Amino acid sequence: MSNLEEEIRSLLTERPMLSEEIREKLMEKGVSFTPIQIRETLASMVRKGEVEKIPDYNKRKFYFKLKMISGSQQSQ
């Protein structure tokens, strides 16, 4: 598991976020990444079933949130 995944997972324990919010929070924390790395990491986390991608049709954006995993402390 990459450091970027850990940082994203940590942020998403707070609440669902837009990718722009995730990017801003990571930059505030001083995490280094490229735009493609964050997109690829989020896509990988969605494919693995760790993160859910939820459309907001009014904003025409996607929210990312942690999926509930039994026996885990992750919030749904």
Q: Which residues in 47-56 are b (16+ Cβ under 10 Å) and which e?
A: eeebbbeeee
Asked if 5 and 41 touch (Cβ cutoff 8 Å), the reply is yes
Question: What domains does the chain contain, in order, with CATH numbers?
Answer: 3-66 (1.10.10.10)
State the maximum Cα–Cα separation within the chain, in Å, rounded to a whole number.
Answer: 34
Residue pLDDT, tens place only, 22-76: 999 999 999 999 999 999 999 999 999 999 999 999 999 999 999 976 544 444 4
What is the pairing mode between strands 17-18 and 51-56?
A: unpaired
pLDDT, residue 74, reads: 44
Residue pLDDT, tens place only, 5-21: 999 999 999 999 999 99
pLDDT, residue 65, reads: 97
pLDDT, residue 54, reads: 96
Structure tokens at 58: 């009014």
